[in-house]
């Protein structure tokens, strides 16, 4: 019987074989694997690996040390079926990963499915799918390499995507009328990302729909104060429009079950530069399902496959 291998970077780097973690060795040895996982199914040259590991001051015998790390990793990873997971390919090495074998790639697939559901105005499907996507996170991306130059660009990209998916989930939850459950999470997020007008607009909607009109207007005033004092700019048209609608009680703008603006684009090309980092935990409003990580991963994958099959 073949064993299933799962590679994880949405949190500390981790590899599971049939649900059990594999020891990955020293920090530098795990860094080799992390670099390879940033380029799944692609050959990474030995020169690039050495540069990423040691920068401008590689140790004497750097190539020999790298080969030692790779040998130990190859032994630890073993085979996935009849195939070795870590292969030598000129001019370097590659990690062979199945389509959903890397959590970040699977997260992005779910993010796109959820975004497509929002575009169709299927808020229930979007909320479920995006919640499942966020449940794959175990902490900040590549957290054990947070200060390594080779990881910085991917950490920023993944954390930006995480926040965009969170905002899309909020959009779906608001459309379903779950405004009361979202207020505390939105307030926490705004404390972490004070300049994000989209989050502040969502908070205003959640407060107004919870019967807290005065607090919704106070949230606008707080947003304007922060933007003017810290950035020297006035709120954008969306926030200003929501303030006016909140004062006037415009039901067509403020009522539940309406996706009040375009959802954030999630796709292979990445996100708008304005999207910022990090939601920790990823399941605000409701706790994640009480399942182990492997069951969550399989449940998400199976649900995605069912939704992608023709009727």
User: Residue 27 belongs to a domain with what CATH number?
Assistant: 1.10.10.10
Q: Is the pLDDT of residue 135 over 80?
A: yes
3-state secondary structure of 243: helix
Residues 80 and 133 placed together within one structural domain of the fold: no
The per-residue pLDDT for 86 is 95
Question: What's the confidence (pLDDT) of residue 251?
Answer: 67
Q: Is the dihedral of CA 301, 302, 303, 306 positive or negative?
A: positive
Angstrom distance (rounded) from CA 35 to CA 44? 8
The span from the CA of 7 to the CA of 293, in Å, is 12
The model's confidence at residue 23, banded by pLDDT at 50, 70 and 90, is very high
**What's residue 4's pLDDT?**
82
Q: What size, in residues, is the chain?
A: 311
pLDDT of residue 265: 55
Mean pLDDT of the chain, nearest integer: 84
* C-alpha span between 265 and 177 (Å, rounded): 22
- Does residue 227 contact residue 221 with C-beta atoms inside 8 Å? no
SS3 call for 45:
strand
Which residue among 95, 116, 146 closes a domain? Answer: 95
Q: Are residues 83 and 122 in the same domain?
A: no
Positive or negative: CA dihedral 99, 286, 224, 209: positive
- Determine the angle formed by the axes of helices 152-175 and 197-209, rounding to 10 degrees: 20
CATH number assigned to the domain comprising residue 146 = 1.25.40.10
Helix (H) or strand (E) holding 20, with range, is strand 20-21
Decide: 178 and 123 in contact? Cβ < 8 Å: no
Instruction: Name the domain boundary from 46, 63, 95.
Output: 95
Residues 292 and 177 reside in one and the same domain: yes
* Domain co-membership, 131 together with 181: yes
> In which band, very low, low, confident or very high, does the pLDDT at 284 lie, cut at 50, 70 and 90?
very low
Residue 63 shares a structural domain with residue 130: no
For residues 78 and 202, state if they share a domain: no
258 in the same domain as 113: yes
Backbone phi, psi, residue 86, to 5°: -115, 115
150 and 56 part of one domain:
no
Q: What are the CA-CA distances from residue 36 to residues 10, 25, 96, 159, 250 (Å)?
A: 15, 15, 10, 19, 53
> What is the C-alpha separation between 252 and 119, in angstroms, rounded?
19
Range of the domain at 252: 103-308
Task: Output the pLDDT for position 291.
Answer: 38
Looking at the fold, whether 194 and 51 belong to one and the same domain comes out as no
pLDDT tens for 210-221 read 999 999 999 999
Q: pLDDT tens across 169-196, in order?
A: 999 999 999 999 999 999 999 999 999 9
Predicted pLDDT at 82: 74
* 72 & 132 share domain: no
pLDDT per residue as tens digits for the range 144-157: 999 999 999 999 99
Asked whether residue 257 carries a pLDDT value surpassing 70, the answer given is no
Say how many domains are in the chain: 2
- Tell me, yes or no, whether 110 and 22 share the same domain: no
* pLDDT the model gives residue 98: 87
Same domain, 36 and 178: no
Last-in-domain residue among 95, 125, 152: 95
Distance between CA atoms of residues 41 and 138, nearest Å: 24
């Amino acid at each position: 019987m073949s064993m299933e291998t799962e590679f994880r970077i949405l949190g500390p780097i981790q590899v599971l074989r049939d649900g059990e973690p594999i020891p990955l060795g020293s920090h530098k040895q795990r860094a080799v694997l992390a670099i390879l996982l940033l380029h799944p199914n692609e050959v990474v040259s030995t020169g690039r690996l050495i540069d990423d590991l040691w920068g401008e001051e590689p140790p004497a015998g750097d190539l020999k040390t790298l080969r030692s790390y790779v040998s130990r990793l190859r032994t630890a990873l073993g085979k996935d079926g009849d195939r070795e997971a870590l292969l030598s390919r000129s001019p370097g090495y590659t990690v062979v990963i199945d389509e959903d074998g890397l959590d970040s790639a699977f997260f992005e697939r779910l993010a796109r499915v959820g975004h497509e559901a929002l575009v169709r105005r299927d808020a229930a499907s979007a909320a479920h799918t995006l919640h499942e996507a966020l449940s794959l996170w175990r902490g900040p991306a590549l957290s054990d390499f947070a200060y390594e130059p080779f990881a910085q660009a991917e950490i920023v990209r993944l954390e930006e995507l995480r926040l965009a998916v969170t905002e899309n989930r909020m959009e779906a939850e608001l459309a379903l009328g779950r405004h009361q459950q979202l207020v505390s999470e939105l307030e926490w997020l705004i404390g972490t990302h004070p300049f994000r007008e989209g989050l502040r607009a969502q908070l205003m909607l959640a407060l107004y729909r919870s019967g807290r009109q005065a607090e919704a207007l106070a949230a606008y005033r707080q947003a304007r104060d922060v933007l003017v004092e810290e950035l020297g700019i006035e709120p954008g048209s969306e926030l200003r429009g929501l303030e006016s609608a909140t004062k006037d009680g415009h039901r067509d703008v403020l009522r539940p079950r309406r996706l009040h603006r375009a959802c954030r684009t999630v796709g292979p090309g990445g996100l708008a530069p304005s999207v910022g980092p990090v939601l920790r935990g990823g399941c605000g409003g409701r706790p994640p399902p009480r399942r182990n990580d492997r069951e969550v991963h399989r449940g998400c994958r199976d649900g995605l496959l069912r939704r992608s099959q023709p009727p």
